[in-house]
Amino acid sequence: MNKERDPLSGTRRRLHQIAFLGSGNMAGAIVEGLLARKTASAADLICLGGDDDTAARLSARTGIAVASSLDELLREADTLLLAFKPQHLAAADPRLRELTAGKLVVSILAGKTLASLDRVFPQSRNLVRTMPNTPGQIGAGVTAWCARTPLDPADRAVLDRLLGALGVSMEVAEGDLDAVTGVSGSGPAYVFEFAAALRDAAVAAGLARPVAEKLALETLLGSARLLAHKAVDPELLRDQVTSPNGTTFAGLQRLKARDFRGLIRETVLAATARSRELSRDE
């Protein structure tokens, strides 16, 4: 097992094994991100899947171990990442209560509150609830998180390593996670829908579909990169593109007339409200 330098003492200590309960797309993204960044080796990681072959496929792709039971999964692991379907939490194996005693448990289960996680993992040394998004599959995601109690430096380092495999992360209050779900959790779908709308509009304007697809994609990519690079309010960059009574002005006037911002606000609020409903239904 690999070693790393303790952030407090500066001495070398063992890098504890990380276990994945669930082996779907997001678990795979974290595993591949950890390996690509060399913040963990395949020997440090182990997974346990469901009745399908996702665990075997993840192992074949990355070289990590596949456990045959919960006991094997958690025997050496110091951190457990929950990556199964959220609806399965209520029926989780009751042995997890004892098997996770003294371990750090990190959840990516959408809509599952710290209180609901605490009922299943009451003896864990800490619980972390996270809300990642799908761009994490290529290391370009953003993940918001909250913990049951403040994380000590060692556990914070483990969490940073895990979430860093997906992209950037930020700590928020648990009460904000429903809004986070409505913005960044569901947000990629809004962007994909806008990309499709821009493509279709380009076709309607007379462009061939391959040309329309390329223009829509590159426009979104370039605009997002420019906004990140400039680090200014998006309105400033918008105004730099807009000449009085020009082409961009004409398009923006139509968006304003149809209350584009109001529609986006309603979209995010609808997703946020549904996230709150799902949390209450657990």
Tell me what the mean pLDDT of segment 113-131 comes to. Answer: 97
Is 158 in contact with 131 (CB distance < 8 Å)?
Answer: no
Per-residue pLDDT, 280: 79
Q: What does the domain layout of the chain look like in residue ranges?
A: 3-173, 185-280
What pLDDT sits at residue 137? 92
Is 265 buried (19+), middle (13-18) or exposed (0-12) by CB count in 10 A? exposed
By the 8 A CB rule, do 139 and 166 touch? Answer: yes
Mention the CATH class of domain 3-173. Answer: alpha beta
Distance separating the N- and C-terminal Cα atoms of the chain: 38
Q: What is the pLDDT of residues 14-34, one digit of tens each?
A: 445 999 999 999 999 999 999
For 185-280, CATH number? 1.10.3730.10
Beta bridge mates, 171: 145
Q: Minimal CA–CA distance to 19: which of 34, 5, 7, 4?
A: 34
- Whether the predicted pLDDT of 115 surpasses 60: yes
Taking alpha carbons only, the member of 54, 95, 52 closest to residue 75 is 95
Whole-model pTM: value is 0.88
